[in-house]
Amino acid sequence: MDLLTETLASIRPVDPVMLEKAQVMLDKKTKPLGSLGRLEEFGRRFAAITGSLEPDTTKKVIYTFAGDHGVTEEGISAFPREVTPQMVFNFLRGGAGVNVLARHCGAEVCVVDVGVDHDFGELAGLIGKKVARGTRNFTKGPAMTRDEALAAMRVGIELAGQARAEGVAMVGTGEMGIGNTTPSSAIIAALSGTPVWEVTHRGTGISESALENKIRVIELGLAINRPDPKDPLDVLAKVGGLEIAGIAGLVLGCAANRIPVVIDGFISTAGALIAAEMDPHVKDYVFAAHQSVEIGHRFMLERIGVEPILDLRMRLGEGTGAALAMGLIEAGVKILKEMATFGEAGVAEGEY
């Protein structure tokens, strides 16, 4: 049995009994019923995912996957692809947005090279798992072979297994890859049948004419490659990205290992969408960090069936939204674990 098949076979729905037990605990806390809103949802779901009414949240890791995209040849980004390795070095120095926000919430950032067109060598903090030096230009054929897409997914699955072995309590997803909003839009358009123009936005901030070109490029890629919407791996290979594949594997691996996974924005959600198309139970293990400015993001979240935690008009990626949401999820868990009950506090339930 190959790793992907084995992982899919290990994914189970979250235990509804644990959800109910956690809710009973929350209802005994010194507050009106449901008065902490979604914080209660976070605590309840976290307990059910982990199978513990006193779950640990100490060790939090954000995996930022990096990969380049051949479709940048078509002028779909405001930045050249050389920025991808430059930003990898910035992550490793601790100077990027995700590093700042991860420090803020007490998370570690691990940078994973699955497809950057650069030889980094051995660098502290970099997980070197390069499958290829970027994808191919999907206006001229598939972005990846099926084997390349599977190899990148295996990287994510293996990282989830390693996280479980190391006692990681909560995983976040992030990415870096110039041009990667283009494959992300292509993925949701291919899977949902939604017109490309409805799910395609400005990415790094391109002009109106560049946006029109981006839409044309995606439409061309879909027409040439004809990805099968009933086969998410086919969609991923033909119009996706190596970092998106890595995230898809990580999400599947977290679900199989009962680790809560916090997905970041548009590109991370493209990876989570591929995972959820492979097994719908994946959504039970996913926390959607935020609603991105990218217009296709809402379509992805709705298709998976998850509700974003934040809407801060962000569109940076890297795992920045995941870092912020981790703090709120942890707050919900602490309410479950640390808030006094009516009995402990000597407060009459009927009077509050």
**What are the catalytic residues?**
318
C-beta of residue 260 within 8 angstroms of C-beta of residue 280: no
Instruction: List beta partners, residue 172.
Output: 62, 262
Residue 46 φ/ψ, nearest 5 degrees? -60, -45
Distance CA 246, CA 78 (A): 24
User: How far, CA to CA in Å, does 172 sit from each of 189, 221, 339?
Assistant: 25, 30, 26
Give exposure, 135-173, as e/b (b: 16+ Cβ within 10 Å). bbbbbeebbbeeebbbbbbbbbbbbbbebbeeebbbbbb
How far is Cα 238 from Cα 186, in angstroms, rounded to an integer? 10
**Residues contacting 231, CB < 8 A, separation 6+:** none
| Contact (CB, 8 A) for 333 and 305 | no
As a residue count, the chain comes to 352
Residue 111: strand, helix, or coil: strand
Among the listed residues 209, 213, 219, 153, the one whose alpha carbon sits nearest the alpha carbon of residue 185: 219
